[in-house]
Every structure is written in structure tokens, then in C-alpha cells.
Chain A
Amino acid sequence: MVIDILSILLMASGLLFFLGAVVGIVRFPDFYTRMHAAGKGDTLSTMLITGAMALQVLNHFDWAHWTSLFVVVKIMAIGALIMLTSPTSTHALMQAGFDDGIEPVTRPGKRGIKNLDASVTQDDEAGASEGQDQPGIS
């Protein structure tokens, strides 16, 4: 009974985090911010729901069918695998988008990626760029 309540709590919090990720994916204005919502919310909700499922399988455990312990280990392995692979694929897709020059949303007057590149080339052409700070790249 305690394990059931814990499983329900894990599942409900996982669905809540996935709801946050979905709202972020649909509503955010920018590629990078959408990526932020998708990466974090999706990973955490996946881990919470797989934890709930592992507890539920462990709740119906008896020694006559002791091989269901392997099923628990596999479910935890899926959670750990997604914890490793989802930030990796998020990072790779983010790098691909940044290399393709997707503009982030900035306030009017602020400099984005293109203007930043333009300022860097202007500084290189001018030769000396003393005293000018370049925002974004430290």
C-alpha cells in the first residue's frame, strides 16, 4: 500500500514535469528556449515515470517468479540510459543548430549571432580592438 502511494506520487510528478515540457515546447519563442524545455523536462519526467513503474513491478514480486527482478533492473537501466542519452542528443542538436546559425531571440538593439560575427570580423579587419568588449564570447 505504501509502495502504491509512492508509485502514484512518482507517476503524477512525472506527468506534471512532462506537462511543463510540453507547454515549453509549444509556447516558447525561440529554438534554444524550446530546446531547454524539451531537454530538462523530458529527461526528469522519464526518470520519474520509470521509477514508478519499477516500484510497481517490485510490488508484485514473489520468490516463485524471482526472474522479475531482472525486469526491475531493466526498467532502471532504461531510466539510466535515457538520463545519459537525452542530454547528449540535446547537446548534439543544439550544436548543430548553433553551427547552422539559428538566431536566438534578443531584445531590439541587442546583438545576436550574425551581428556578433560581423563585429568580430570588423575587429579583425581593423587590426587593433583595444577596449572593446565582445558580448557572448569570453
Chain B
Amino acid sequence: MMETFFICAGIALLLMMAPVFYRIIVGPTAIDRIVAVNVIGTKTAVLLIIIGVIFDNVAMFVDFALAYALLNFIGSLAAARYFNKTRPVYSADAAGEEKVS
């Protein structure tokens, strides 16, 4: 019974990640896309723990989740420093009129 509930919770978490992909695709600025990727990365670390509980092998999957959470944090900080006044935030057509110092 608990296993069925956790499978349903994992599927619900996976389905709720799908609208965030909409923000990754059509996000007007680059930092919108980074925020959405950050949310999906955090939820992937949570989903790995749920997979570990379902497979009754949490001792292995929790290390994956820990490494994934750390890499997600480092990646988002690096992207924030990279996009800070080095790249135009508005992509393609709006980049011409945006003044980037």
C-alpha cells in the first residue's frame, strides 16, 4: 500500500515537472531558463530518494541524490556568475536593442 502510494507520488512529481519545461523552452530571459533548470534539478534529487524507497535500496540512491544536489547548486551559481553582465539576457531579436554593459 505504501509502495503504491510512493509510486503514485513519484509519477505525480514527474508530471508536475512537465510544465516547468514550458518555462525552459519559452522563457523570455536566459535567467528564467536557469531558474527552471534549478527547480527541476532539485526535484530530481528528491525523486532519486523516492526511487530508492520504492526499490528498497535507499543506501545507494541517497548518495546519488546528495551528489546531484551539490552539483545542481554549483552549476546554478556558476551560471549566475556567467550571465552577470557578460551575456545579453534577452535572446535573439531583443538582444539588439538591449544595452549590455
Contacts and interface: CB of A to CB of B under 8 A. Distances in A.
Interface of A: 4, 7-8, 11, 15, 18-19, 21-23, 25-26, 31, 34-35, 38, 42, 46, 49-50, 53, 56-57, 67-68, 70-71, 74-75, 77-78, 81-82, 85-86, 88-90, 92-93, 95-97, 99-102
A71 B59 CA distance: 6
B29 A97 contact: yes
Contacts of B62: 71, 74-75, 78
A22 to B, nearest CB: 5
Contacts of A102: 29, 31, 89
A132 B4 CA distance: 64
Interface string B1-44: 01001100100110011011011000011011011101100110
B89 A97 contact: yes
A34 to B, nearest CB: 6
B29 A78 contact: no
Interface residues on B, range: 35 or more
B39 A38 contact: yes
Given A92-B80, A93-B34, A99-B84, A86 B16 contact: no
Interface of B: 2, 5-6, 9, 12-13, 16-17, 19-20, 22-23, 28-29, 31-32, 34-36, 38-39, 42-43, 45-46, 49-50, 53, 58-59, 62-63, 65-66, 69-70, 73, 76-77, 79-81, 83-85, 88-89, 98-100
Contact of A18 (B5, B13, B29): B13
B46 A50 contact: yes
A34 B6 CA distance: 29
Nearest to B98: A101
Contact of A25 (B39, B49, B89, B100): B39
B9 A15 contact: yes
